[in-house]
């Protein structure tokens, strides 16, 4: 296991490709980057270090819920995203730390800063915060095992009052 | 001061309430006019009881939270004797806020400007160079000031800026029974979990009142949530070899007095206290059934059936929603401008709930509720679309809220519950002096003068 080390450049390439898929609404392709035991979570504002088993979050998805979220977003009935917003993800301050191994393969923790800007109805909404990933190597490819987007704002009042996109 | 006096001479009433033709309309001006908001502040938010927070948010002596209510900065805290206190968040010296954190713990609230320091019971504990004030200095008169009225019902802390407001228990009227039903889920106490969903909606605050108790929009607006729920239930039922009952929402709306209203209904979703249904794991079934039996033993079968199996969306006029559905959310809101409200939502849960059920509760909550759930973002969108539609209020002044008026017993997809709110609103906005009490069907037709078109 010790032989595998994720470089920062590899992590950055992965995050940039991922951002392209999300900005391009290619959500099925993005979902294919996730492991079967993926967890995607967004803590409540003001509690970036909260735990989803004991405190209120905004999002805590397992694979089934994430699939449902994407199915919903790609339908015509996700009214908050119909018509779809346009987004641009700026990702920076990327750092990598190896965290050992899960049964499914070796893993690394990746942290990054994000600024997701969402445009819709001539309004501009900002989501600023920190990503914490656990990326797992599965059959030689990187997969998302855990993905937390923790917002820095005190509230969603600068973010259109909601998290209707995948952060 | 008396804003209502200018409003009562309006050409049109705000409400048309005509049972003879089953017509109920609301004038959209009520959602866009700054004068109306000024009248709401003076005649509603300054006059009735407002929900501030829950005592569990300040569970330990020394805990405090700060928030704005009715436009005033307040501190909710628990003093070192264990008493829940509410203070105006302003120094009695020169006015700066004494609490600048949204949440914290300590022995004192200190104004950093001149370093006046108050204990959580409000006393002015210390100030630099106190002797300079001389012998007549009345330290007791400079204690923190409380809002005129503060009272607590089963942990729910309410504030009124009206010293002559009726007692809280009278104000709550029949809404008390519904708060009781929520509290009876726990043998010990119900508590707000850590974490607040803080958001905003670019729409008039009254639209969130309507939306929070509106059963009619569930199947249309929330089709994607229903699709998720049914898929999850079907998948789980098939895996267990269980038949899946056809999902439905059915129940009734009730007028609870004083502008409070509820819809109470059966729904397909599981409830952690205590209704087992797919997609909950079969392992949890025994625990939920046992809990259900305990509550039947304690409260009788009929009450236990309501505590455990029925869902309810409760409005406590004017600013509290308690939706006891697949989890319990407590939601409060505050107008900022006619077209903007701030919203806070919390999760209420039994203290000491077993871990596995508690996790189910937390995840259940997030499927539907909150600005990251599968449903709430579309509610935000719906309300903002209404507000944009109201730009033509002069040309198309009336919204229709008459659904179910002809029904003997209106159902949850009818609009009785909204009419209850609007009648009370109309009564208070008109400056009716009786509006600090009462509020039944007969007296609320004061302004039902037909007209309009």
pLDDT confidence of B305, banded at 50, 70, 90? very high
Q: Tokens at residue B292, please?
A: 């259900």
What average pLDDT is seen over chain B?
91
**Same-domain pairing of B111 and B68:** yes
**Same-domain pairing of B132 and B190:** no
Please indicate, yes or no, if residue B36 is contained in any of the structural domains. no
Q: How far is B196 from chain A (nearest CA, A)?
A: 6
Please indicate, yes or no, if residue B386 is contained in any of the structural domains. yes
B195 at the A interface (CB within 8 A)? yes
pTM of the entire predicted model? 0.92
Q: Tokens at residue B395, please?
A: 């040309």
Q: Is the predicted pLDDT of residue B4 greater than 70, yes or no?
A: no
* Chains A, B: CB pairs < 8 Å: 126
pLDDT higher at A150 or B11: A150
Sign of CA dihedral B407, B412, B413, B416: positive
A76 at the B interface (CB within 8 A)? no
**Same-domain pairing of B220 and B306:** yes
A69 at the B interface (CB within 8 A)? yes
**Same-domain pairing of B92 and B218:** no
Q: What angle do CA B39, B45, B46 make, to 5 degrees?
A: 90
**Same-domain pairing of B289 and B418:** yes
Residues of B in contact with A46 (CB under 8 A): 102-103, 195-196, 198
Please indicate, yes or no, if residue B35 is contained in any of the structural domains. no
Q: Is the ipTM of this complex over 0.85?
A: yes
Indicate the residue among B164, B194, B216 that finishes a domain: B164
Q: Is the predicted pLDDT of residue B442 greater than 60, yes or no?
A: no
For the stretch A88-104, pLDDT in tens is 999 999 999 877 777 77
Residues of A in contact with B363 (CB under 8 A): 52, 60
Q: Is the predicted pLDDT of residue A1 greater than 70, yes or no?
A: no
CA distance B235 to A62: 15
Number of domains present in the structure of chain B: 2
Please indicate, yes or no, if residue B132 is contained in any of the structural domains. yes
Q: CATH topology for A8-151?
A: Nuclear Transport Factor 2; Chain: A, (3.10.450)
Indicate the residue among B116, B137, B164 that finishes a domain: B164
Q: What is the biggest distance separating any 2 CA atoms in chain B, rounded to whole angstroms?
A: 83
pLDDT confidence of A2, banded at 50, 70, 90? low
**Same-domain pairing of B142 and B276:** no
**Same-domain pairing of B147 and B204:** no
What average pLDDT is seen over chain A?
94
Q: How far is B440 from chain A (nearest CA, A)?
A: 36
Indicate the residue among B164, B184, B207 that finishes a domain: B164
Please indicate, yes or no, if residue B74 is contained in any of the structural domains. yes
**Same-domain pairing of B155 and B182:** no
Please indicate, yes or no, if residue B196 is contained in any of the structural domains. yes
How confident is the model over A34-45, as a mean pLDDT?
97
For the stretch A57-71, pLDDT in tens is 999 999 999 999 999
Q: Looking at residue B374, which CATH number applies to its domain?
A: 3.90.380.10
For the stretch B271-288, pLDDT in tens is 999 899 888 888 899 989
pLDDT at B357: 87
**Same-domain pairing of B250 and B304:** yes
pLDDT at B239: 86
Q: Residue B132 is part of which domain span?
A: 50-164
Q: Looking at beta carbons, which pairs linking B275-278 to residues 24 or more positions away fall under 8 Å?
A: B275/B308, B275/B309, B277/B233, B278/B232, B278/B233, B278/B234, B278/B235, B278/B236, B278/B237, B278/B240, B278/B242, B278/B244
Binning chain A into helix, strand and coil, the percentages to the nearest 5 are 20, 45, 35
pLDDT at A100: 74
CB contact under 8 A, B377 and A162: yes
For the stretch B373-392, pLDDT in tens is 999 999 999 999 999 999 99
Please indicate, yes or no, if residue B373 is contained in any of the structural domains. yes
Please indicate, yes or no, if residue B54 is contained in any of the structural domains. yes
pLDDT at A103: 72
**Same-domain pairing of B250 and B395:** yes
Taking a C-beta distance cutoff of 8 angstroms, is the pair B373, A44 a contact? no
pLDDT confidence of B440, banded at 50, 70, 90? very low
How confident is the model over A74-97, as a mean pLDDT?
96
pLDDT confidence of A3, banded at 50, 70, 90? low
Q: Is the predicted pLDDT of residue A5 greater than 90, yes or no?
A: no
CB contact under 8 A, B195 and A53: no
Residues of B in contact with A56 (CB under 8 A): 193-197, 346-347, 362, 365, 370
- The full set of domain ranges for chain A reads 8-151
């Amino acid at each position: 296991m010790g032989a595998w080390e994720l470089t920062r450049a590899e992590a950055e390439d992965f995050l940039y490709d991922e951002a392209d898929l999300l900005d391009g609404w290619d959500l099925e392709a993005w979902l294919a980057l996730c492991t079967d035991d993926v967890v995607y979570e967004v803590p409540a504002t003001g509690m970036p270090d909260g735990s989803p088993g004991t405190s209120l979050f905004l999002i805590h998805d397992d694979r089934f819920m994430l699939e449902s979220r994407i199915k919903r977003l790609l339908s015509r009935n996700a009214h908050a995203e119909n018509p779809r917003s346009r987004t641009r993800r700026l990702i920076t301050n990327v750092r990598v730390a190896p965290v050992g191994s899960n049964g499914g393969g070796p893993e690394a923790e990746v942290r990054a800063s994000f600024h997701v800007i969402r445009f819709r109805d001539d309004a501009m909404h900002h989501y600023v915060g920190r990503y914490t990933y656990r990326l797992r190597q599965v059959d030689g490819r990187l997969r998302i095992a855990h993905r937390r987007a923790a917002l820095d704002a005190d509230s969603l009042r600068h973010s259109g009052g909601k998290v209707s996109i995948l952060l | 001061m008396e804003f209502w006096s200018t409003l009562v001479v309006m050409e049109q009433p705000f409400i048309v309430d005509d049972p003879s033709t089953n017509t109920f309309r609301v004038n959209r001006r009520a959602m866009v006019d700054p004068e109306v908001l000024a009248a709401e502040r003076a005649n509603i938010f300054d006059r009735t009881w407002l929900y501030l927070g829950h005592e569990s948010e300040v569970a330990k002596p020394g805990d405090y939270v700060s928030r704005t209510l009715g436009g005033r900065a307040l501190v909710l805290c628990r003093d070192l004797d264990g008493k829940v206190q509410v203070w105006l968040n302003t120094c009695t010296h020169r006015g700066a806020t004494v609490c600048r954190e949204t949440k914290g713990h300590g022995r004192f609230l200190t104004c950093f400007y001149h370093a006046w320091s108050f204990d959580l019971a409000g006393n002015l504990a210390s100030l630099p160079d106190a002797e300079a004030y001389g012998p007549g200095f009345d330290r007791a008169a400079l204690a923190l000031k409380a809002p005129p009225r503060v009272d607590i019902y089963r942990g729910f802390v309410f504030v009124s800026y009206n010293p002559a407001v009726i007692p809280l228990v009278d104000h709550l009227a029949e809404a008390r029974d519904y708060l009781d039903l929520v509290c009876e889920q726990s043998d010990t106490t119900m508590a707000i979990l850590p974490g607040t969903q803080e958001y905003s909606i670019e729409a008039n605050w009254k639209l969130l009142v309507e939306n929070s108790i509106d059963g009619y929009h569930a199947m249309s607006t929330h089709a994607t949530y229903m699709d998720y729920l049914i898929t999850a239930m079907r998948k789980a039922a098939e895996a267990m070899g269980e038949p899946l009952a056809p999902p439905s929402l059915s129940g009734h709306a009730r007028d609870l007095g004083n502008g409070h209203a509820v819809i109470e209904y059966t729904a397909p979703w599981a409830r952690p206290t205590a209704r087992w249904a797919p997609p909950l794991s079969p392992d949890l079934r025994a625990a939920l059934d046992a809990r259900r039996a305990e509550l039947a033993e304690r409260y009788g079968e009929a009450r236990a059936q309501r505590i455990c199996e029925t869902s309810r969306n409760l409005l406590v006029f004017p600013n509290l929603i308690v939706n006891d559905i697949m989890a319990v959310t407590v939601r409060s809101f505050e107008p900022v401008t006619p077209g903007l409200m701030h919203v806070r939502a919390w999760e209420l849960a039994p203290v000491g709930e077993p871990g596995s059920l508690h996790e189910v509760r937390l995840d259940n909550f997030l499927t539907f509720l909150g600005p990251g759930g599968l449903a709430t973002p579309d509610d935000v969108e719906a309300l903002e679309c209404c507000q944009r539609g109201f730009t033509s209020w002069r040309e198309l002044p009336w919204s229709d809220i008459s659904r179910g008026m002809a029904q003997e017993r209106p159902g949850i997809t009818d609009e009785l519950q909204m009419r209850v709110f609007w009648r009370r609103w109309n009564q208070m906005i008109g400056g009716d002096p009786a509006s600090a009490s009462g509020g039944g069907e007969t007296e609320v037709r004061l302004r039902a003068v037909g007209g309009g078109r």
